[in-house]
Amino acid sequence: MKICVISFDFWNYDAHIVEELRRKGMDAHHINIGAYQHESFPARVKNTISKILLKRNLKNELRQEMILKKLNKLGPQDQILVINPELIDREFHFQIKKFTKRYIAYLYDSLARCPAGHLVDMFDEVFSFDKKDAEKNNFKLITNYNYLPEVNEFKPAKYDLIYLGSFDKRIGTLSKITTKIEELNLSYNCVVVGKKTWTKKLVQSTSEITFTRKRIKHRDIPSYYSEGKVLLDLMRDNQTGLSFRFFEAMALKKKVITNNPTITDYDFYRPENILVLKDDLSNLDKSFFEGTYKELPTEVHEKYRMENWVETVFKLK
């Protein structure tokens, strides 16, 4: 079976889907539009001028043309999965759809954050990680997946709390939490990644939160998380779906502190493992850090593995 995954894979999570498909013997390929680069410095300058004067992003157009060029080389596909389809214009979706028998989408962002409602009619099936969107729009609800093997050996944690995230509005909540952590005499390591992190560095009064343009390599994320007793998960505005952090924590057998209240609806939620923060942080105390991790049943781990996700989305069962 020939399957193609198309996505803007900033954190390199989507590549795991293709790897799993290949392990299952599929002829699978990944078109990562996020990897597209301008061919030359003059081309970069031209795009900058076009965005300023014409409000037209030539790079986005070239990315989409790249998709068609690669599909022309790959030929017809049995299935094509597009992750976050709002990044591709409707006219290009029409062209892409011609290459496959089954055209499907996965929304790893809420419609409120990344509007894709005008495109859903293009697809034979739409999957979403956001419960509200799935219920309202008759999408197939599916969480993100656990791409990591379970750990059996535990190394001493270097920090009580650890966080890795993009540079966005969550910074305000992160600052309040780290202040509370300091009051509790606990340690933390937080890395915030983004092109505009330099703006925060200008006013940042503490070096405890690292702001950087350079993201941690995907293969190094498990090692980074393993340095913490507890992982911090902060929900984006207008979004209730579960981040990959919950599933990485599941594999690494780490506790999680989160401000996402929907986590209590899932079968792997255990209050011993996951603390849902109150708005005023009044329930953030040392006792959660001092308690032991509660092991999850094997069947729960199996349910959220990469293999099960791939079999469900691509109907391989």
Q: Going by DSSP bridges, is the β-strand pair 140-141/188-193 parallel, antiparallel, or unpaired?
A: unpaired
Sign for the CA dihedral angle at 154, 235, 175, 271 comes to: negative
Q: Is the pLDDT of residue 54 over 50?
A: no
**For 122-151, how does the pLDDT look when each residue is reduced to its tens digit (9 = 90+)?**
999 999 999 999 999 999 999 999 999 988
* pTM metric for this prediction: 0.86
Mean pLDDT of 33-44: 55
Average pLDDT of 283-300?
A: 94
Q: Find the mean pLDDT for residues 22-44.
A: 75
Q: How far apart are the first and last CA of the chain?
A: 14
Q: Over 90: is that where the pLDDT of 82 sits?
A: yes
Residue with more model confidence, 58 or 6: 6
The pLDDT of residue 35 is 58
Mean pLDDT of the chain: 88
Please state which of the ranges 22-31, 65-74, 84-93, 186-195 shows the lowest mean pLDDT: 186-195
Whether 234 has a pLDDT exceeding 90, the answer reads: yes
Provide the pLDDT for residue 44. Answer: 53
- Band (41; pLDDT cuts 50, 70, 90): very low
**Which segment of 53-67, 155-169, 243-257, 283-297 scores lowest on mean pLDDT?**
53-67
CA-CA-CA-CA torsion sign (229, 235, 241, 243): negative
Secondary structure class of 84 (helix, strand, coil): coil
What six digits make up the tokens of 206?
A: 């503490």
* H/E element, 91: helix 90-97
- pLDDT > 80? residue 51: no
Residue-wise pLDDT for 184-204, tens only, equals: 999 999 998 876 555 555 444
Residue 240: predicted pLDDT: 86
Residue 12 binned pLDDT confidence (cut-offs 50, 70, 90): confident
CA distance 154 to 253: 9
Neighbours of 145 (CB within 10 A): 22
Is the per-residue pLDDT at 162 higher than 60?
A: yes
